[in-house]
Every structure is written in C-alpha cells, then in structure tokens.
Structure 1
Amino acid sequence: MELGEVVRRRRMVRSYTGEPVSRAVVDRALEHAVRAPSAGFSQGWGFLVLDEPQDVAAFWESTTDPEDLAAPDPWLAGMSRAPVVIVPCSSKAAYLERYAEPDKGWSDRAETRWPMPFWHMDAAMASLLVLLTAVDEGLGACFFGIPPGRDAALRTRFGIPEDHDPVGAITIGHPAPSPGAAGSTARRRRRPTAEVVHRGQWQKRTG
C-alpha cells in the first residue's frame, strides 16, 4: 500500500472481531516502531506486548473498574475483543543519562533543560508507526490512554519498572463490520489544511 493511502485510511478502530493476529505482523509493527526518531538517539522507549488471551484479559482487569468490566459499554465491549494490546512506555531517565554523556555535556541531568518532554514525544512517534503498520497490514488499531487511577495496578500486574511510564496503550486486531462505538470523527469535521497551516507567519502584524 502506498504511504499516502495508509495515512488516509488510518483511523482509530474501537471494535474488533476477536480473530487472531499473526505474531509476525506484530513483530513487524514493533520493528517499525523502533525506527522512530529519538532525541540524541536515546531510544528511551519500551513496549509491553500482550498477545495471549490471558494477558489481554489481565490488561483490561488492571485498567478497568470492576463494575464497568461486569457490564461493559459499547466502547469497552468492542475494544476488549482486540487480540493484541501494546503498551508503549517512555523512560525519562534514559534521556537525562544520554544527555549527560560527553558529546552532549549536560552533566547535571537537569530536567529543566528540556523545553518539552521528548521522552513522551518520541514514544508517541513510535506508537504512530505501530498504527500505520496496522493499516498497511489490513488491520485496525487504536491508541488510547491509561486511566490515571489504574496506572499502579497495570505496573504491578505486568512488572513495568518505575523508570518507564506508560504513555498509553494500542489495541490491534481485525475491525468488526459495525463499529461498537462511534469516534469523534463521526461528530466533528476534519479541519482543512488551509485552516491549520500558517506559512511564513501565523498572524499578520499590526501597526
């Protein structure tokens, strides 16, 4: 599939058939993920891959309130059928250590030197490559957040180290014929390029 077609087809899929996904496809998505850019080639990411039914079930148990799990809404019912969940994580420590090396020279390891949290940004770019690979393979995928109150349970259940922070989770699977939960694109228009691109200057100068 041409790159342009992959980009145009990418959307957040929230309902799956439950049909298995080839491990080779998942591996290919992860091989693409680690080709993402990272500041100083720090590569401060890690990916928890859950592709066994008991592990996927444990993910939802860890991240969902019991009452919601007992009576799932359309979103949860559709999402929890995905046979694969990937939890991308970022390591701030990896970046602070990398930039304390001789060729960078920020020996104080001060987080204040960073204008933006590149550790999260780079993990997000890696996640996008997973999403695009899923489309290229004829699959669906969705990136979504971990509820703040469930982070500790997720870490404990899967042994995520303290120096790695989950930036979200990605479901991968075969899209169900009828989506279980309509996404925001069904209710909101896509802003045209001309509305969001500001060439040369954002606003005209006055005076």
Structure 2
Amino acid sequence: MPELYEVMFRRRDVRAEFTGEPVADETLRRVLEAAHSAPSVGMSQPWDFLLIRDLATRQAFYDHVQHERDVFAATLQGEEAERFARIKIDGVLESSLSVVVTYDAARGGPAVLGRHAIADAGLYSVCLAIQNLWLAATAEGLGVGWVSFYREPFLSELLGIPEGVRPLAWLCLGPVSKLQEVPDLERHGWRRRAPLEDFLHFDKW
C-alpha cells in the first residue's frame, strides 16, 4: 500500500493517548506548512492557526467542553446514555498544545473567485487545511483530536477572535502512546463504519 494511503487509514481522532511530551518546533512548523498548503477557493487562504499552550486558557475551554458534554448527555437515555458515558470526548489538558483553526469569510474578497454560487466554499477550504494538518501530524507520529463540544461565541470571546471570524476547529495535538487500530466510537459501540458500497451512486441518485 502506498505510504499516503497508509497514513490516511492509520489516522485517528485521539482522546486518551496523548503523552503530553513537547512537539519540536521544526516538526510543528512542517505540520502547519502542510495545512497552509491546502487548496482554497479563489486562493483566498481563509484560515488562521492559533497555537494554544497556556494552561489557564486550556482549563477554561476544558470546563466549557465538560458543560457541553453534560448538556448532550442529558438528551440520551438507556443504553445510548451508558455508551456515551464511557466515551472520552477530548484531550485538551493531556495534549502538548492545541491548534484552533478559524475561517475568515472576508479573506480574499470582496470578489472570491469560485465562491459566488457556493457560499460555503470557503468553509470547505478550511476543512481541507484541517485534513492536511491531520495527515501531516499522523505522518510525523503525532496524534490529533478534534473537539466539537463547544459554542462558537464562547471560544471567540475566550481567544479574542475578531468579529466575523469563525472558530471552526479546536484540535488537540501532540505525541501519543499509540494510535488505536479501531476508532473510539466503533470500539465503544456508538457507530460502525459502513461499507463503501452503501454510499455509491452511478450517474443519478
């Protein structure tokens, strides 16, 4: 299997395996350069990368995440609630640092080539940068965990993000003890990956 494919299939959303060891500056630079090299609509490069090492900031975000976890948990019942209770949802405090990736819709404007008919094309561009970062980190032997239990206004205020710029991803980053063979949500019985054939359509839906 070509090395690129091996990295793609080895990539995991990391929660519990962070060691907390530091990331070398040159390694972090390579990972961020990979993210910054992603394609973007109209060459707008609508992303920014905030590197979060400050423990107080991470603790404040962690506390917010735990509150949102409780909000979601309150919507579950029975076996579903029991399964969710076993799932760790973040590595905010255990990881070496975090990278917050933002989206600036005004970047490259006012006329962004290629975005006039698809307003979300800029969002897609940032997601490509995030995927590049994730694959590069995996190739470097690092883990990444995307934390999604947060409210955007809270994170914007916490980090002083300017109005009009959206925080799209809080990514925990750092060395890991291992990458799980099976994704966490599959191991805990939350969902399982369906076969490709279930998602293939030819010519029409």
TM-score w.r.t. the length of structure 1 is 0.74
Q: Does 1:168 align with 2:169?
A: yes
Counterpart CA distance in 2 for 1:79 and 1:161 is: 23
For the aligned residues, what is the CA RMSD? 3.1
Quote the Cα distance in structure 2 between the aligned partners of 1:67 and 1:8.
Answer: 28
Which residue of structure 2 lines up, in the alignment, with residue 152 of structure 1?
Answer: 153
In the alignment of these two chains, the number of paired residues is: 185
Question: Aligned residue for 1:141?
Answer: 144
Between the aligned residues of both structures, percent identity stands at 28
Shift of the 62–162 alpha-carbon distance from structure 1 to 2, 3 Å rule, reads farther
Residue aligning to 1:93: 106
CA contact (8 A) 1:46 1:164 kept: no
- In structure 2, which of residues 30, 40, 43 is the aligned counterpart of residue 41 of structure 1? 43
The residue matched to 2:13 in structure 1 has which SS? coil
Give yes or no for the alignment of 1:120 onto 2:123: yes
- Going from structure 1 to structure 2, the CA distance change for 1:98 and 1:146 (only over 3 Å counts) comes to farther
Opposite residue 174 of structure 1, the aligned amino acid is P
Name structure 1 gaps, 5 residues minimum. none
**Aligned ranges 1:2-21 → 2 under 5 Å:** 2-15=3-16, 16-21=18-23
Please name the residue that 2:73 is paired with: none
CA distance in 2, matches of 1:67, 1:146: 6
In 1, distance between residues paired with 2:15 and 2:196? 26
Unaligned runs of 5+ residues in structure 2 are 71-85
Among residues 43, 49, 57, which one is paired with 2:59 in the alignment? 57
**Which structure's CA Rg is the greater one?**
1
Q: Deviations over 1:136-166 (max 9, x none)?
A: 0111111232522xx3332223221112100
> Which one of 86, 90, 93 corresponds to residue 80 of structure 1?
93
Q: Give deviations 1:54-104, integer Å, cap 9, x for gaps.
A: 543354356554997xxxx862674420111111100112254243xxxx5
Instruction: Assess if the C-alpha contact under 8 Å between 1:33 and 1:126 holds in 2.
Output: yes
